[in-house]
Amino acid sequence: MFELSIKNDFAASHCLRGYKGKCERLHGHTWKVEVVLKGKALDKIGMVIDFMIIKRNLHEFLEELDHHHLNDHPYFKKVNPTTENIARYIYDAFSKKCRPLKIKKVTVWESDNASITYYP
């Protein structure tokens, strides 16, 4: 089994519904995202997948979140846009763009000192 790790980031605003404190007000982060994928097979040149392909896919995926207010995103209209839920959303939605590889986990940092990792 091989594990492949890619990183990217996006900037967005959000307000936490039901939270009592500063984070209930409009604020933003530059979220850093790490996606760890796993695969068993190597292609004919000995790669799980070309890093350029999967990095481009993650960049394109995160574009839908970048410089948006997350509370307005269809998913987050129903789900509170916490860092935990952002990690789960990326895991679930980005999985469709990673086949035949499988996502092992997604880690999202809302700051240099605070991160959440989601895996099923």
Backbone angles phi, psi at 114, to 5 degrees: -140, 125
Which position among 3, 63, 64, 67 bears the catalytic label?
67
Task: Give the DSSP H/E element, type plus range, for residue 115.
Answer: strand 114-118
The answer to whether residues 26 and 17 touch, using CB atoms and an 8 Å cutoff, is: no
Which position among 14, 29, 98, 110 bears the catalytic label?
110
Structure tokens at 100: 């035949």
Which position among 3, 15, 23, 69 bears the catalytic label?
23
Q: 110 an active-site residue?
A: yes
Give catalytic residues, as residue numbers.
23, 67, 110
